[in-house]
Structure 1
């Protein structure tokens, strides 16, 4: 009896399931990125939100004001002016840029373009030029006192002024388009190269022409890439800063300190010493950009489904 009573606990202990050991191998790989991500993105965003809840007072110094800065921003005509200008830039410039990029990608993929490798590199090359260098280069050509525009005015007797108040946004859009056509072209071209050859063979057997293949095969396959291109372009439009900020020295009367939301936040912070209100504008623009990009992504995903 004693032997049997001692064997029962041993049997129960043998049947007890062992808890699986935690595998930390994945976190060892992801950990360094998460640390950098926390310090580079999460910490600045949290600190910006913290700054936006305070305001520098003439009496009492920096005091907590809650959402007062946000209320002021929503009634700020300079911010609405800057946002309206960026939205206009987005509505006009982005479709033009994406259509040109799409046409270039379709031309390169058609296998009917001679020296396609040369044209692919040539179209992509402006993207490799830094934005500051590209803006300085175009600014030299836009100047009415020097450069290409002055030469054209002298030759033709015209009075072209790309950096005037009526045309400066077009000038900035032209620079931006020149810079990013190659990037979007490569994005679309990569999506075209992964289309199965069987679809083209089936279309050829059905007697489909070039435009029918583009409409029925290539464009549907390009939809995810187009959605990504639109999202990146939306983010880039709301981040517009380098081009107008550099051109401002050539056109101070046409480009104000609040030409874009980023310029407005930058000048408030570094010129006006209004760090709290600048952080507020940055948070508003960031949330607005994220919401619009999410709506575009959601719309594109529904159409794809």
Structure 2
């Protein structure tokens, strides 16, 4: 009788222990579904409809009509929306490699014995990441605006006709703001990965006569390749979602239109054009493009790593 009484609480305690991990994960799962998964399905649902006006236009005579993929076709026929993809792809081809290379070089320098005062310089490089993107764009917008910029005035005083907001330069001015803002966080990720590399490997390479550059290229970079891939993918995703920097700089130059990037086109469609269904279709297309490009980059980098190891 006593053994039966003891066994029942044990079974209940065992069931509670098995449920405990799920209870801890539950708050995150609920928020993840509510704020990420649910909006995706809502956007997909909205993109399959179109609002039409009926009657003479008096009162609320709008009617929502199921139109299948008409909104997607409309988005793909929007020349400015497609041009926005071209801009961010060109932007990413230059900005992402430059940012990753600068981040990797800084991480390698901080991991070596060449730099003194590492804590100070690490903080100085990371500090721009703590500045909100809108504030960073405002700060750089002041430096770009010819009428008030000391940088433009200084360059012109030595005979360099600088115009950072001209049609041919404004995209790279935006890229400069992004590089300044995000180099620090990427450097921290790569530097943290370098700290996990066994130091014995460096000592063995030095005994074989390898210098710092050879150790960096042959040992450090291959060992932290997953971190390099992580920073590259996150930078690509951020590139396709570019919004804050051009939206802020748009207020000081006419060379940035309201649909300069895909995200800006989505915002303009949902607010200025008052067409949330079209904006939903654009958002789904942008999400698909981001997913496909990320998968392609991951496949290419994984295959390259496999070839190098072979």
TM-score with structure 1 length normalisation? 0.89
SS at match of 2:263: helix
2:19 paired with 1:33? no
**Among candidates 203, 206, 210, match of residue 204 of structure 1:** 206
2:40 paired with 1:45? yes
**Among candidates 34, 49, 60, match of residue 54 of structure 1:** 49
Gaps of 5+ in 1: 1-17
Return the alpha-carbon distance in structure 2 between the equivalents of residues 196 and 41 of structure 1.
38
Q: How many residue pairs end up in the alignment?
A: 286
CA RMSD of aligned residues (A): 1.8
Contact kept? 2:156, 2:162, Cα under 8 Å: no
Return the alpha-carbon distance in structure 1 between the equivalents of residues 297 and 226 of structure 2.
11
**Among candidates 79, 82, 91, match of residue 80 of structure 1:** 82
**Among candidates 105, 108, 111, match of residue 107 of structure 2:** 105
Return the alpha-carbon distance in structure 1 between the equivalents of residues 139 and 152 of structure 2.
15
**Among candidates 160, 176, 188, match of residue 174 of structure 1:** 176
**Rg (Cα) greater in structure:** 1
Gaps of 5+ in 2: 1-10, 55-61
SS at match of 1:146: coil
The structural deviation recorded for 1:71 is 1.5
SS at match of 1:91: helix
- Give the equivalent residue in structure 2 for 1:193: 195
Cα distance change, pair 154–200 in 1 and its aligned pair in 2 (3 A)? closer
TM-score with structure 2 length normalisation? 0.88
The structural deviation recorded for 1:221 is 0.8
CA offsets 1:268-292 (integer angstroms, 9 cap, x no match): 1011101000010001001110111
**Among candidates 231, 242, 267, match of residue 244 of structure 2:** 242
The structural deviation recorded for 1:208 is 1.6
**Among candidates 121, 124, 144, match of residue 122 of structure 1:** 124
